[in-house]
Structure formats: C-alpha cells, structure tokens
Amino acid sequence: MDKNYKYMITKAKYILRFDDICPTMNWKIWDKIEEILNEHKIKPVMAVIPDVKDEKLFMEPPKNDFWDRVKKWQEMGWTIGLHGYQHKFEIFLTKKNFKTLCNYSEFAGLPYDIQKYKIQEAIKIFEYNGIKPYCWIAPASNFDQTTLKILNEFNLKIISFGYYLRPIKNQGFIFIPQQLWWFRWLPFGLWTICFHHNTWDEKTLKKFEKDILKFKNYIVDFKEVVERWNIENKNLTDKIFYFLFLNLIRIYGRTKRFFLKIKNEGPI
C-alpha cells in the first residue's frame, strides 16, 4: 500500500489561495505554478495587490501585461480577490486589538476617511483594468469594523478570512475560512491554504506539485463554496474553534522560535 495513502482519504475540502499577486512578483516560479494548476484544472483564489508599494515584493521587473493576465484568470473562472491597496503596513496593533497572528495592518486602526480612500482607489484600479473583485483579502489578515463598514458600502461582502471549520455568515458578510499555509491532511472541514510563492525555490515548487497530486481530488473552487454550499450564521461552536485554533498556532509558533533560538545560539 502507498505510504501516502492516508492523504487520499478524507472528508476535508481545500481551497488554494495565492497572496501578493502583483506586477513585480516572482514570475519565474509563478509561470510554473500556473502550468500545474491548469494541468489539474484547479481554480485558485488570486489575492491581487492593486498598486504595490511594498519593496519586499519587488522580485522582478514589472510585467507590462500584468492586468491582461489578471483578466485572463478572471475569464478562466479563477477567483480574483482585492488584496488591500498598496500592501504597506502603517499600523502596529497591541495584542488587545487584534485577533490574528500579525500585529500590523494596512487598514485596522486607521480612521474611516483614510480606509475608505484606500479601498476606493483600489477598486478604481481594478475597474479601470476591467477587473471585478469577487472577495476581500486583507493584507496580514488584519481589518476592523471600520473596514467592514466601508466594504459593505462598496457591496464587497465576501471575505477570505477566519480560523473556522466551515464557511460562516456574520454581520451581513460571508467568511470563507483561511487557516493553513501548506497542505496538511485533516479529517474534515473546509480549509483554505494561503501560499506565498514569492519566497519559493525549485525545491518548494516540486513539493507543491507532488502535494497537488495527493490532494487534487479534495480541492474545491472558492466560488462554488460561496454560491452552492449551505452557509449558516456564526455560532458558539465557531467562536470556540476560532479561539482554540488561533491560540494553538500562537503556541506552536512560540515553541518553534524558542527551539530555533536554542539551536542557533545554544542553551542559556
């Protein structure tokens, strides 16, 4: 029996999401990823930055046909998400103010007028290039009630976010959960895997292709989940799972950093 057989039997479903899609991204790796996705007829979520100013994402010279490619992905049925405005983090939050893994944000904590300007400009860029955003994807997964108010004004009511086991409805929005950063066998639930391909090398790409073969039968389309699944209101179980999952990831991260420090510096 194949030693990876367990990866082929599960009730879980997976959505693939690629973040930091922009004209200056790692195209050398991306072009190969796109070939793999097309070969297996997988429709991912593309988190597109409208006006990238984050220097960490200046991986290659900008592609002049970038928006043509985004339009092609949209025509192919891929989900195009609005990934903030410029991917510049201006606000650093205290632990009391955020419910994600990051304490920085492009939006959360900023006044209404500034947030509205950013979102309005981002949507204008999309529309100018013939793109209609299907969902909202906040950089660093951080936003607040002010952000939600503005998104509602622009009728952008589908959000890729949250440490839930299932998609939920809350405050008039549909939240499709995002909890993973690589393929992982899980027995049930809906799991969005958020990939950051800009840091990949050929070895990571090969691992991705290998895992696609294992999991491809359980990969679903984001739009199919939104439009065909029975999505219910957020309940107490969802809140409890969110709290437990978030804190489990935090504990894991701290433990990993601790042992990495011991490995690099030796015991104190």
In a domain, 108, yes or no: yes
Dump pLDDT digits (tens) for 205-225: 999 999 999 999 999 999 999
Output the pLDDT for position 117: 97
Output the pLDDT for position 96: 45
Output the pLDDT for position 266: 39
Output the pLDDT for position 261: 39
Closest CA to 77 of 46, 48, 123: 46
Going from the C-alpha of 98 to that of each of 54, 109, 133, 143, the distances in angstroms are: 22, 10, 25, 9
Question: Which pTM does this prediction carry?
Answer: 0.88
Give the 3-state DSSP-derived string for the chain, with helices as H, strands as E and coil as C: CCCCHHHHCCCCEEEEEEEEECCCCCHHHHHHHHHHHHHCCCCCEEEECCCCCCHHHCCCCCCCCHHHHHHHHHHCCCEEEECCCCCCCCEECCHHHCCCCCCEECCCCCCHHHHHHHHHHHHHHHHHCCCCCCEECCHHHCCCHHHHHHHHHCCCCEEECCCCCCCEEECCEEEECCCECCCCCCCCCEEEEEECHHHCCHHHHHHHHHHHHHHHHHECCHHHHHHHCCCEECCHHHHHHHHHHHHHHHHHHHHHHHHHHHHHHCCC
- Asked if 153 contacts 202 with a C-beta cutoff of 8 angstroms, the reply is no
Domain holding 249, by residue range, is 235-268
For 214-236, b/e burial (b = at least 16 CB within 10 A) is bbeebbbbbbebbeeeeeeebee
Output the pLDDT for position 155: 96
In a domain, 81, yes or no: yes
Q: Rounded CA gap, 250 and 228, in Å?
A: 33
Output the pLDDT for position 100: 61
User: Are 173 and 205 contained in the same domain?
Assistant: yes
User: Are 196 and 265 contained in the same domain?
Assistant: no
Output the pLDDT for position 265: 39
- What is the Rg, in whole angstroms, of the alpha carbon atoms belonging to the chain? 19
User: Are 174 and 250 contained in the same domain?
Assistant: no
- Asked if 102 contacts 178 with a C-beta cutoff of 8 angstroms, the reply is no
User: Are 260 and 133 contained in the same domain?
Assistant: no
In a domain, 2, yes or no: no
In a domain, 4, yes or no: no
The parts of the chain modelled with pLDDT lower than 70 are 1-9, 91-102, 104, 252-268
Going from the C-alpha of 231 to that of each of 79, 101, 158, 190, 242, the distances in angstroms are: 18, 25, 12, 12, 17
Tell me the CATH number at 118.
3.20.20.370
User: Are 49 and 114 contained in the same domain?
Assistant: yes
User: Are 112 and 243 contained in the same domain?
Assistant: no
